[in-house]
Amino acid sequence: MIDKATADAFIQKISALGTKPGLDRVKTLLNRLGNPEKRIKVIHVAGTNGKGSVCAMLQFALMECGYKVGKFSSPCVFSEFEMYSINGEELDEIEYLGFVSNIIDVTKDMFEDELPTLFEVQVAIALLFFESNHVDFAIVEAGMGGLLDATNVFDEVLCSVITSIGMDHVGILGDSIGEIATQKAGILKKNCYGISIKQEDEANNALMEYVKEIGAKFEFVDYHHVKYIMNRNTVTCREFKNVKVPFFGDFQYDNTTLALETLHILRYQGVNIDVDKASKGVSYAYLPGRMEKVSSEPLIFIDGCHNKPAALRIKETIDNHFSDKSITFIMGVLKDKEVSKILQTLLPLGNAVVTVTPDNPRAMSASLLANDCFLYDIEVTIAEDFDDAAMKALDYNNDIIIALGSLSYLRDIKASFKKMVNAND
């Protein structure tokens, strides 16, 4: 068994290799590890926004029905191993070191250009974790895209699930919504079931073209079987009646519907899912960093909004629930995200914005982000660090604080608020 320092050195080595397209490396790695992906029943989830929410709802629904459920979802936000879990319990360090040790052993004869990338290793760790613990089901969230994503290593799946598709990772996945949709559609499999919410027309057409090409059993959510009761915060979808939407934000009604449609498809395939238990599980689902309320007094939310579709959904929530409230935004973003479109969508709704630099090599500096914010009729403050950002936001004394941007910085800003709000309480 290797120690943590050895594992960290290996991870640092492969991290330096960056991101490389293609599935050859991850398939070679899995083959050397005994192909754990071939012995797991998988629900594969791709999309631009909503993946994490849908994965969490499916996880909790199946757990409530008595199943042992693995979930792989990235990136890590609040702890080192949170991307790997079984029934909500994270992978522990001893198991992690064992899996990394196996991977080091099977890659030691590889040349540097043959080595797997960090995300490919993370996928392998997740699959080894699920196989060795004999999970009943594994819910696997695609990282970027789908067709060439390192998670797309399964010959067959119980269901491929496609959430909202928007313009993200442009230049890598494609320059149009249709091209990006084709990449997301890559998780669909011949003769396997697939489900998607209704997308923009161009994305819908791209999905259907891919479905015809490969012969998947695919459908869009049929909204004739769906009913939203917003003042009760419930969704009815087919046999699932009046299910409580577990997450805040009007866009979560679509995500809840997609999760319920997926459960309906699993039941159709013969999976023993009790409707009442599954509905209860969905209503109990928890996912940090998605319009997560971290304080009631003052009212503070954090959300990993990183593109225009996500910003539009938060705008909708503000318009419907907080239109009469004064708002302070905290923003920390990465340079490769749709920064100008996020600002254009959200800053007109706010009274103040505090910019901060995330702890990430791809981060946009707080000062550069502030320069873009000055274009809008809003008070702008630059923070030196996360504690300073939280303090400056509290000092504005507006009705609501919403911290937005890269998931990678939410842990730090949440910790800063917890210290200050607890001290104030």
Average pLDDT over residues 346-368: 93
**What's the pLDDT tens digit per position in 87-144?**
999 999 999 999 999 999 999 999 988 999 999 999 999 999 999 999 999 999 999 8
For residue 425, what pLDDT band results from cuts at 50, 70 and 90?
very low
> What is residue 331's predicted lDDT score, i.e. its pLDDT?
95
For residue 423, what pLDDT band results from cuts at 50, 70 and 90?
very low
CB within 8 A of 35, min separation 6: which ones? Answer: none
Domain with CATH 3.40.1190.10 in the chain: 4-284
Structural domain 4-284, CATH architecture: 3-Layer(aba) Sandwich (3.40)
Average pLDDT over residues 182-197: 97
340 burial (CB, 10 Å; 0-12 / 13-18 / 19+) is exposed
Instruction: Output helix, strand, coil percentages for the chain, rounded to the nearest 5.
Output: 45, 20, 35
* CATH for 292-424 (3.90.190.20, 3.40.710.10, 3.40.50.720, 3.10.20.30): 3.90.190.20
Phi-psi domain of 20 (left: phi exceeds 0; alpha: psi -120 through 50; beta: other):
beta
pLDDT at residue 389 is higher than 90: yes
pLDDT at residue 405 is higher than 90: no
349 compared with 249, residue with greater pLDDT: 349
| pTM (2 d.p.) | 0.87
**What's the pLDDT tens digit per position in 248-302?**
888 899 999 999 999 999 999 999 999 999 999 999 999 888 888 999 999 999 9
Q: Distance of CA 111 to CAs 14, 108, 143, Å?
A: 12, 8, 25
Domain with CATH 3.90.190.20 in the chain: 292-424
Whole-angstrom Cα distance, residue 64 to residue 240? Answer: 15
Nearest 10 degrees: Cα torsion 212, 218, 224, 225: 170
CB within 8 A of 31, min separation 6: which ones? Answer: none
Indicate the range of 110-119, 167-176, 273-282, 384-393 predicted with least confidence. Answer: 167-176
